[in-house]
Structure 1
Amino acid sequence: MENMFQDVNAFFTAFGASVVVPVMIFIIALFLKVQPKMAMMSAFYAGVGLTGFGWIISEFTPVVTKIIKQMVSTTGIKLPVVDIGWQAGSLASFGSTVGLAFFVFGLLFELLIFALGITKVFMASNLWNNFGFMIWGTMAYYVTHNFWLSMGLSFFMLLYSLVLAEVQADRWSDYYGVKNATVAASHNIEQTIPAIFLDPLWNLLGFNRVKVTPEYFKNKLGVFGEPTTLGALLGLIIGILGNLHSLGTIKAWGQILQFAVQLAAVMTIFPLVTGVFAKAFAPLAEEIDKNRKKEVAEQGKEIDAIHDKKRWFLGVDDGVGYGEPATIIAGVILIPIMVVIAFILPGNRVLPVVDLISLPFMVESIVAVTRGNILKVIANGIVWFSLGLYASSWLGTIYTGTVSHYGVAIPAGVVLITSFNLIARPVNALIFAAFISQNPVWIGLCIVIYLVALYGLRRYRPQIWSYLNRMAEKNAK
């Protein structure tokens, strides 16, 4: 069995996401009766989009990392747990028996629970992001050496994530313009919780009446409201913060202006790549919509999407939403904010660095629920990701030990590591704590809460979606 898992790891390592994901999309498209030509183009668009994301992020990450390190050096503050990016956690997940077992059996489980109607999200279409569930099971196994408990944790993370994914599905689909699609990655879905529960507080403070959206910037500021120009201005500000002690030098201003142009490029190019990537899923999502409408018509009924209890969603990669203007603008604004918070937050031990470029991925659910209200996105991000810093601080030793144990080299001079994107997850951390305690009471409580949430979703899904739409409409455009 272990040899089989190693073969699976070798296969996916050899081909990578840019090959495996398109193949999966091609197969799913044919299953949905999409025309072969269109299915083939969907697969190609997925591969091109993923390759484009990889190129841009791999080029831009070192630039952002350098600026952040300079900001840290300027303050002189030392934090022992350093964020080195999600890639180390992904590699560790695919290097562990628990992780690989979940990758194989998790896919079968995703197909089963979808077929049984336990979830209305077809998660199998977003297979590659399963490492977000695998890393928690891998860490649990490192701590407890209990294979079945660790596997159970990964499966539970999947189940509860799918509930959140379905809760925000109608809003995400509507806001990002991809019919019957939603994101469900473990590392980026729990932000649905603060987006919903903190919204009444932000409305009480009047945030919903503040026009802070890309459309407003564009209408009021003209050329200065364009994402490209905003990227340049944000790059200028971040660049200056990273060079506060050397603003009188040509070298500093060279870096500042280069970073301004580089960030402007990212803000311009990412939406283009996102548009290509979205083309991979659009035909599949539209086919789902067409088939459902045909089925309803044959039954002689008229039913809107909100009240259609059989409506289901395609799980898509969160790269589909990364380049949307409000998403990328809010995410970039949060970069320096989270660095400053890391310095001043009492008890925090984590320095977010490499995964800061992932912040646009991390705020998508908040953007969808708040209808692109950038002020609310930033406020929610500050609250939730600050709690996430505490989660990462606690898990620093465990995560470092796990990554080291499964063969990933720790950078020289770094004592403890983390991934701000994977591990700065308050709810995931609480569930992890319950499972590694091996206390039936705490584990049972997690399961009971999930079952209650699932029952509520199945019984009141139209009411939940209608409520979220009314929430969204309260935000000024």
Structure 2
Amino acid sequence: MDILQDVVNWLLGLGAAVFVPIIIIIAGLIVRMKLKDAVSSGITLGVAFTGMSMLISFMTDTIAPAAEAMLESTGISLPVVDGGWTTMSTISWSWPYAFLMFPLLIIINIIMLVLKKTNTFNADLWNVWGKIFTAVAVVAITGSVPLAFLVAAVQIIFELKTADAHQHRIEKLSGIPGVTCTHKMVFFGAVLYPFDMLLRKIPFFNKDFDAEALKNKIGIFAENHVLGFILGCLFGLLAQYDVAEILTLGIKCATALTLFPVITKYFMQALSPISEAISDFMNKKFEGRTLVVGLDWPFLGGSNEIWLAVIWSVPVTLVCAMFLPGNDILPFAGIINLALAVPAYLVTKGNLPRMLVLCTIGVPAFLWVGTAFAPFITELANSTGAVTLGAGQLISNSSIDGPVFTYAISHIFDIINGNVLPAIIFGLWLIGFVLYYRDLMKEAKAAKVQQVESE
């Protein structure tokens, strides 16, 4: 058992940019891709992951200090340190039973494929830590390991069903066939969907308006490099930087927004052959079905709307952090909140005005959940030694993936202690999920009928 755990830990230590391509290469060979094609797709995917990771780190390192400077100028003190997703991942992998989550995920996926309850082959094994984190939270509340794995199994099923429902919309938005997203962050769409339904009833918000439409309206000022420069300079002004620092921040933001679409092209180059090969192979094994590959979110990173929403969310998050009742977390490592922008992008189909409104509405949920998790995450960090903290220091994450679902499902058994709030929140989330799921499936079915009629 220890040897198996050591092997798993070693593979994970390679990082997503190596681990995920290995999975993709193995999957490609299983579905009888030529060795050179499978290796080429895998390495290209590794390049894409590395490039996207570098850009996100670059953007975080660029914006986070400006955000911190803006907060410092207000004199407001918030006690919970934002350690970002890496802190939660590190703590999750410190759980003794963490490596058992891999076979659980794979077995559930295979069973659902065989029973025709999903059409998604989940290749995003790297983000298994998200299930582990939920399980660790359940153990902390109930002390029961079996219950922890039961709740993790429920999360895995929801991820596969959500991936199925999103596939058509994701393919239409990304232009990449045969792929979908199995990341837990898309769960937040169930929270945003009812608000989006209301916004669509307002004429101003019910028009097609994406980044391309913005470019048509204001011309060069909506070009990635120019818009990035303008937004960067505005952040510099708000952070009270000097002229040189303002211009430098502007150029850095322009660089990030210019390169994101470039990196995404490599995802398309890597994923198209592998998704086609897997689909062809699986369609022979599962006659009459079209199976798709489930992946992490970065292949959507070429959408300018996502990054505009991310940048918009930074000042919104800072203002909320300062004045939101019940918030104790100081946003820093999680200030680039993709777990908010990506679901908003999918829910609105890239409608920029609605995305900005939904991101504004969604920010408090992340801060409240980050604050609620702080004592639990701090206790785990201290007990496992995974993260070194000072005496009395609290740590959490201001951008927890799928915050409403994660809080509700991990705390649902706290009802035995008389706390019914998580159960109520989960019930409300489930209603939003069902409504959103039905809308996505209806859209996919209509598109399929239209395709058949056109043929």
Query: What's the TM-score bracket when you normalise by the shorter of the two chains?
Result: 0.7 to 0.9
TM-score by length of 1: 0.84
Q: Pick one of 276, 281, 304 that aligns with 1:286.
A: 276
User: What's the offset of the Cα at 1:165?
Assistant: 2.3
Identity of matched residues, %: 24
Task: Give CA deviations for 1:17-54 in whole Å, capped at 9, x if unaligned.
Answer: 22211110011122333333221111011111122223
Q: Deviations over 1:370-408 (max 9, x none)?
A: 221111112122222312221222111112212332222
AA aligned opposite 2:404: P
Name 1:348's counterpart in structure 2.
327
Residues 246-287 of structure 1: CA deviation (Å, up to 9, x unaligned):
x6xxxx222211111111111111221122123221212233
Aligned to 1:106: 105
1:120–1:461 Cα change, 3 Å: farther
- Contact residue 370 and residue 400 of structure 2 kept, 8 A: no
Quick one: which amino acid aligns to residue 274 of structure 1?
Answer: T
Tell me the residue number matched to 1:475: none
Q: Secondary structure at the match of 2:334?
A: helix
Match among 153, 164, 168 for residue 151 of structure 2 = 153
Q: Please give the secondary structure, in 1, of the residue aligned with 2:271.
A: helix
**Correspondence list, 1:378-389, <5 A:** 378-389=356-367
Q: 2:216 matched to 1:219?
A: yes
Q: Give the TM-score of the pair, scaled to structure 2.
A: 0.87
More displaced 10-residue stretch of structure 1: 62-71 or 135-144: 135-144
Distance 1:137 1:232, change over 3 A: same
SS at match of 2:117: coil
Q: How far apart are 1:461 and its partner, in Å?
A: 7.5
Q: Secondary structure at the match of 1:182?
A: strand
Match of 1:163 in 2: 161
Amino acid at match of 2:220: V
CA separation of 1:209/1:422 partners in 2, compared to 1, >3 Å: closer, same or farther?
closer
Q: CA deviation at 1:455?
A: 10
Deviates more, 1:214-223 or 1:201-210: 201-210
Aligned partner of 1:65 in structure 2 is 64
The aligned counterpart of 1:197 is 194
1:275 aligns to what?
265
Match of 1:55 in 2: 54
Q: Paired residue for 2:10?
A: 10
Matched ranges for 1:63-212 at <5 A? 63-123=62-122, 125-186=123-184, 188-210=185-207, 212=209
Contact persistence 2:165–2:437 (CA under 8 A): no
105-114 vs 167-176, which moves further: 105-114
Are 1:392 and 2:370 an aligned pair? yes
Q: 1:93 to 1:31 in 2, by over 3 A?
A: same
- TM-fit CA distance, 1:340: 1.1
Q: Relative to structure 1, is the Cα distance of residues 23 and 72 closer, same or farther in structure 2, using a 3 angstrom cutoff? A: same
Q: Is the 8 A contact 2:41 2:269 kept in 1?
A: yes
Structure 1 stretches of 5 or more lacking a match?
300-307, 470-477
With over 3 angstroms needed to count, the CA separation of the structure-2 counterparts of 1:163 and 1:367, relative to structure 1, is: same
CA drift of 1:217 comes to 2.1
Alignment of 1:411-450 (within 5 A): 412=390, 415-422=393-400, 425-437=403-415
**Would the alpha carbon gap of residues 35 and 440 (structure 1) be closer, same or farther in structure 2, given more than 3 Å must change?**
farther
* 1:391 match: secondary structure: helix
2-structure distance, mates of 1:26, 1:98: 27
Sort the Cα spacing of 1:156 and 1:226 in 2 relative to 1 into closer, same or farther, 3 A.
same
Seen in structure 2, the aligned counterparts of structure 1 residues 104 and 40 have a Cα distance that, compared at 3 Å, is same
Q: Aligned letter for 2:100?
A: A
Distance 2:59 2:37 in 1: 32
Q: Deviations over 1:108-142 (max 9, x none)?
A: 3333333332322211x111011111111122223
Cα distance between partner residues in 2 of 1:73 and 1:17: 34
Question: Are the counterparts in 2 of residues 281 and 316 from structure 1 also a CA contact under 8 Å?
Answer: no
Q: Distance in 2 between matches of 1:395 and 1:467?
A: 41
Other-structure match for 1:263: 253
Distance 1:282 1:314, change over 3 A: same
**AA partner of residue 328 (structure 1):** W
> What value does the CA root-mean-square deviation take over the aligned residues?
3.4
- State the Cα distance separating 1:466 from its structure 2 match: 4.8
Deviation sequence 1:452-474 (CA, Å, 0-9, x none): 999999999753535799xxxxx
Letter in 1 for 2:215: K
Q: 57-66 vs 425-434, which deviates more?
A: 57-66
Cα 1:59–1:411, aligned 2, differ >3 Å: closer, same or farther? farther
Supply the distance in 2 between the matched residues of 1:458 and 1:206 (Cα, whole angstroms): 24
Distance 1:361 1:395, change over 3 A: closer
**Residue-pair matches, total:** 448
